[in-house]
Amino acid sequence: MRKEYDFSKLKGRRNPYANTLKKQVTLRLGVDVIEYFKQMAQETGIPYQNLVNLYLRQCAHSHKRLTVA
């Protein structure tokens, strides 16, 4: 391996999957829901928005259905 590499001549390349990774949306969540995930974020060290995303992804993958009474 070389000790130094010249990266000045490299061209940047866009990620072709960037548009499909995440999409920004606006949600109106209850204060209690936000506080729950913020508390969980402090315990785990994971940002609360990532926790919400992980939970919703888990629900989607397991085809969890909401029971409305």
With respect to residue 18, please indicate whether it lies within any of the assigned structural domains.
no
- State the pLDDT at residue 46: 97
The token duo for 35 is: 């506080």
With respect to residue 12, please indicate whether it lies within any of the assigned structural domains.
no
- How many domains, in total, are found in the chain? 1
The token duo for 65 is: 């259905």
With respect to residue 47, please indicate whether it lies within any of the assigned structural domains.
yes
How far is residue 23's CA from residue 68's CA, in Å, rounded to a whole number? 28
Total-model pTM: 0.68
CB–CB of 40/25 below 8 Å? Answer: no
With respect to residue 16, please indicate whether it lies within any of the assigned structural domains.
no
Residue 44 belongs to domain spanning: 29-69
Please report, in tens digits, the pLDDT of each residue of the chain (69 residues total). 788 888 888 888 888 887 778 888 999 999 999 999 999 999 999 999 999 999 999 999 999 998 997
